[in-house]
Structure 1
Amino acid sequence: FFIMWEVELIPVYLLLSMWGGKKRLYSATKFILYTAGSSVFLLMGVLGIGLYGSNEPALNLETSANQSYPLALEIIFYIGFLIAFAVKSPIIPLHTWLPDTHGEAHSSTCMLLAGILLKMGAYGLVRINMELLPHAHSIFSPGLMILGAIQIIYAASTSLGQRNLKKRIAYSSVSHMGFIIIGIGSISDTGLNGAILQIISHGFIGAALFFLAGTGYDRIRLLYLDEMGGMAIPLPKIFTVFSILSMASLALPGMSGFVAELIVFFGIITSQKSLLMTKILITFITAIGMILTPIYSLS
């Protein structure tokens, strides 16, 4: 797991540094520093779990899942994995590499980042933090839900101020990842199902939005929103499909984004680990984020 986690950095770095905008080397360097730096915590967690409580090192996930750890040690492992996966997801405040990367990367690289790379962090949280470290996860779950709700509001608000179309889509991705974090933190089957559906849904929608943004740029050489007025006239097909995908992104009823976010809401309500006031607060903040989503998606 760790080796494959690191190997994927190489092609992504090459794609970022060789194709893209004028600041592509800066964004590629920032990406590699963030991700490689966080991998140190991942390596320590993997080695700690593999070496603890066994006469021989055991790195098998099934063996590790049946292993119990002292609570303090489990919390340390959990924090290490959380930092590593928070950079990839990304979770605020470790998200700053993503807008810069999307702003400078070629549209095909942006599709790879949005469709696959961001989902690796969420997969790690589910596969390792939830499965291998359940006691620590139950302690951190209310904090994850609150952080996810704040992330939805913060990224949606920041997206409104972006003039670059690809950066706006990037912040939209950060906002939608907040729903995934909430679903994972709810510790309920319903919330987890919603998070997984959101992972799949946003993977397709985000990649498609970047594809259309790149295709439009190849045709009219414009990426800044204040210069793209009247885009429906020269690019009617791209405009139509982009509008449909924007509706899907803002969770229009009947589309996959709506179903995923609705299931996450049910997961918040059915969570047994959170107090009633915490559920109300998270639901209220998340609802505000859902109101902001159509504003930046359609503006």
Structure 2
Amino acid sequence: MWGGKKRLYSATKFILYTAGSSIFLLIGALGIALYGSNQPTFNFETSANQSYPAALEILFYIVFLIAFAVKLPIIPFHTWLPDTHGEAHYSTCMLLAGILLKMGAYGLIRINMELLPRAHSIFSPYLIIVGAIQIIYAASTSPGISSISDMGLNGAVLQIVSHGFIGAALFFLAGTGYDRIRLAYLDEMGGLAAPMPKILITFVMAVGMILTPIYLLSMLRQMFYGYKLFTAPNSYFFDAGPRELFVSISLLLPVIGIGIYPDFIFSLSVDKIETLLSNYFYSF
């Protein structure tokens, strides 16, 4: 009912990757809960104060890293994401981009870095290299793993939050556009600005707030002012309505607010990050 022609393949692949990574997450959580105590505990503060033998800490780190690398995703555990985004309904893509993927970055910060600092010091240089490769390969970052400085980690948290809103907004706009014109390729589009000015404005608002504006503004020029006027038959050719405007504004206003006053996000995370970093450096 929902999704593209390969939706069953993509859904199966997504479930297998997610379930497989959850097994690693469960193993790691049980290992930490059962270690060094006659009474198992999942209390985070207790686990944060627990010390582990070096080999065991590295083992825990690898287990959690695999689980969160699938969630983010980090190459080479990323192959489920293009298939899922390409075949899923845009509402599903909004949830993936806005919430699910961010859980991987959050887990790397709160679990791998906070609970396993010695192992993180060993793996962090390799994660930096993987992150750099991923930037080149997929024009995306793996926030939260490339810096242990105060400003760097605060910036990673800010990026996680802002990218969640921006990614969800772009998928929503792309999906609402597809609902109307039933076209997915840029070379088939053009001349949409006159009949769809509200969607154009919201697209420009979203595109102007990310790191690749030149490429994406070129995309918008092709879509809305291209030489091919839209003449496809049987298309739902109407502009954004109240529903689309409400969702778009709800997603874009926080992004504008973060851009104007990022200290609001910093104020929510700075105390915890300072504590995390103090514990991290104290462990060496």
> How far off its partner does 1:132 sit?
0.6
- Name the counterpart of 2:115: 132
Q: TM-score, normalised by structure 1?
A: 0.70
Shift in Å, 1:230:
2.5
For residue 184 of structure 1, give the secondary structure of its aligned residue in structure 2.
coil
Cα RMSD after superposing both structures: 2.2
Provide the rounded CA distance (Å) in 2 between the counterparts of 1:220 and 1:21.
16
Q: 2:99 aligns with which of 116, 124, 129?
A: 116
Distance 1:94 1:259, change over 3 A: farther
The 1:23/1:251 distance shift into structure 2, 3 A limit, reads closer
**Alignment map for 1:1-299 (pairs within 5 Å):** 19-156=2-139, 175=140, 177-178=141-142, 180=143, 183-250=144-211
Cα distance in 1 between the residues matched to 2:178 and 2:96: 18
What secondary structure does 1:131 align onto?
A: helix
Shift of 1:243: 2.2
Once residues 184 and 258 of structure 1 are traced to their aligned partners in structure 2, the CA distance between those partners, rounded to angstroms, is 25
Cα shift at 1:240: 2.3
Distance in 2 separating the partners of 1:119 and 1:246 = 20
Cα deviation, residue 111, structure 1:
0.7
Separation of aligned partners in 2, 1:21 and 1:240? 28
CA-CA distance at 1:251 after TM superposition: 6.4
Q: Is the 8 A contact 1:142 1:186 kept in 2?
A: no
Deviation at 1:185, TM superposition (A): 2.9
Tell me which structure has the larger Cα radius of gyration.
Answer: 2
In the superposition, the TM-score normalised over structure 2's length comes to 0.73
Supply the distance in 2 between the matched residues of 1:128 and 1:236 (Cα, whole angstroms).
Answer: 45
How much has 1:246 moved relative to structure 2?
1.3
> Structure 1 residues 98 and 75 mapped into 2: Cα distance closer, same or farther (>3 Å)?
same
Distance 1:226 1:209 in 2: 19
Paired residue secondary structure (1:234): coil
What is residue 290 of structure 1 aligned with on the other side? none
Kept in 2: contact 1:24–1:105 (CA 8 A)? yes
Match of 1:275 in 2: none
- Whole-angstrom distance in 2 between the partners of 1:222 and 1:257: 32
Q: Which has the higher helix share?
A: 1
- Which whole-Å CA distance do the structure 2 matches of 1:233 and 1:87 have between them? 42
Does structure 2 retain, via aligned residues, the 8 Å contact 1:27–1:104?
Answer: yes
- Paired residues, number: 222
* d(CA) in 1 for partners of 2:75, 2:260: 23
Shift in alpha-carbon separation, 1:118–1:134, aligned structure 2, 3 A? same
Q: CA deviation at 1:218?
A: 1.1
How many angstroms apart in 1 are the aligned matches of 2:63 and 2:155? 25
Q: Deviations over 1:28-53 (max 9, x none)?
A: 10000011111121111111111111
Code of the aligned partner of 1:79: I
Match of 1:168 in 2: none
Mind listing any 5+ residue stretches in structure 1 that lack a counterpart? Answer: 1-17, 157-174, 264-270, 272-299
Which stretches of structure 1, 4 residues or longer, exceed 6 Å deviation after superposition?
Answer: 257-260
Q: Describe the superposition over 1:139-180 as per-residue Cα deviations: whole angstroms up to 9, x where unpaired.
A: 111111111111010013xxxxxxxxxxxxxxxxxx1x33x1
